[in-house]
Amino acid sequence: MAVRENMKITIPQLRGGLAPFIAVIVVLALFPIIGVPRAWFLYLLLFFLYLTMANMWNLLAGYSGLISLCPAAFVGLAGYTMTVMTWLGLPYYAGIIPGGIVAALFAMLISIPVFRLKGIYFAIGTLVVPEILKFVFLLWKPVGGPLDGKGRGYTVLGVTEVSHSQVYWFALAIVIASIFLMRYILRSKLGRGLAAIRDNDSTAASCGINVFNLKLYSFVIAAFVTGIAGTIFYIYQGFIEPASAFGIQWLITIMLATIIGGEGTEEGPIVGTIIVVFLYFLLARYAEISLIIQGIILVAIMLLAPQGIMGSLRKTRTYRSLLQLAASSLKE
């Protein structure tokens, strides 16, 4: 009887929680088929990719206590890996997973020195990594010659015939994977261990938690998924060059999405990414100073609402009442 009673409670909760999410996925997947305006594709494509990266940055900064400032390194390396593979005669889609793997391997490599740093020193240590890579790729021609001081961009071969629908579905698939991955990690032993490390890594270590390994797992996972999102972006763009591939705009965008929405909350990156995509198109006419404007917004949010939109909402009585109402309706 106890088992049956548990099943009666649990199954409706799962259905109630998953049904709306599945319905949204189906509708989004059908957009290219039903013929939505072409501009929507760009809005949603950027939303999917930025949300994927914001989820991974939230995993590090919000749940692991790792203020990693090097997502551009993973985006750039993965993008170049995929692009170089097309120059070697492979189809573009064959470079998506290898791009993520290269980013993950690089994360493992740099974890050895940067994990010796803590707090602000860790953040500064990771911040210089994309700049070093940018310098290297400005000197090195990955295809066609040795170091010659003539950094250059490359066209992603074979993507001119790729439809917007295909890239859209790639982006939709990776954002869905990132959401499910976040939910799985946060409800696993890894997530609980990361929460303990975020609160106090010394106490976590004294309790038998392998601090280095758990940090490494989250760092590598974030690098892999961020790298895959980067390859999809460059499949859409069709061209990659060092200044933008390893540029600080990736960091500003991802941080803005996470901090505006609410760092350390599952819903925060979604809300924040919607605002960031809106700002992206709103500030397009001010390209020269858009990063400065975004930086000012980021600082203002950190000062005025450090917990972000969702973090602030969770403190309100109305939000808690809505959560209780939703929970009671699911039980019924």
Residue 141 has pLDDT above 80, yes or no: no
Residues 44 and 26 in one domain: no
What would the pLDDT profile of 53-88 be if each residue is shown by its tens digit? 999 999 999 998 899 999 999 999 999 999 999 988
Question: What single-letter DSSP state applies at residue 146?
Answer: S
Round the CA-based radius of gyration of the chain to a whole number and report it: 21
What would the pLDDT profile of 15-46 be if each residue is shown by its tens digit? 345 788 889 899 999 988 887 788 888 899 99
In a domain, 121, yes or no: yes
Mean pLDDT of 237-242: 92
Residue 143 has pLDDT above 80, yes or no: no
Q: Kind and range of the H or E element at 283?
A: none
Among 190, 218, 247, the domain boundary falls at 247
Among 214, 247, 280, the domain boundary falls at 247
Query: Residue 299: what pLDDT?
Result: 83
Q: Which domain holds residue 3?
A: 1-36
Count H helices and E strands in the chain, helices first: 15, 2
What would the pLDDT profile of 208-232 be if each residue is shown by its tens digit? 888 889 999 999 999 999 999 999 9
Rounded to whole angstroms, the Cα distance separating 281 from 210 reads 44
Rounded to whole angstroms, the Cα distance separating 227 from 210 reads 26
Question: What single-letter DSSP state applies at residue 286?
Answer: G
In a domain, 223, yes or no: yes
Q: Distances in Å between the alpha carbon of 56 and those of 6, 87, 227, 317?
A: 33, 29, 10, 30
Rounded to whole angstroms, the Cα distance separating 317 from 88 reads 59
Per DSSP, helices labelled H in 58-157 are 71-87, 96-114, 120-139
Domain count, the chain: 2
In a domain, 329, yes or no: no
Q: Kind and range of the H or E element at 140?
A: none
Question: What single-letter DSSP state applies at residue 240?
Answer: E
Residues 217 and 164 in one domain: yes
Residues 24 and 46 in one domain: no
Rounded to whole angstroms, the Cα distance separating 63 from 54 reads 12
Q: Identify whether the C-beta of residue 254 lies closer than 8 Å to the C-beta of residue 233.
A: no
Residues 22 and 114 in one domain: no
Residues 161 and 186 in one domain: yes
Q: Which residue has the higher pLDDT, 34 or 185?
A: 185
Residues 32 and 144 in one domain: no
Residue 285 has pLDDT above 70, yes or no: yes
In a domain, 165, yes or no: yes
Residues 30 and 50 in one domain: no
Alpha carbon 288 to its chain's center: 25
Residues 153 and 218 in one domain: yes
Query: Residue 298: what pLDDT?
Result: 80
In a domain, 28, yes or no: yes
Residues 65 and 23 in one domain: no
192: exposed, middle or buried (C-beta count within 10 Å: 0-12, 13-18, 19+)? middle
pLDDT band of 160, cuts 50, 70, 90: confident
Q: Identify whether the C-beta of residue 45 lies closer than 8 Å to the C-beta of residue 171.
A: yes
Residue 111 has pLDDT above 60, yes or no: yes
Residues 137 and 227 in one domain: yes
Q: Identify whether the C-beta of residue 124 lies closer than 8 Å to the C-beta of residue 251.
A: no
pLDDT band of 113, cuts 50, 70, 90: very high
Question: What single-letter DSSP state applies at residue 155?
Answer: E
Residues 188 and 120 in one domain: yes
Among 227, 247, 267, the domain boundary falls at 247
Q: How many C-alpha atoms does 193 have within 13 Å on its Cβ side? A: 18
Residues 58 and 20 in one domain: no
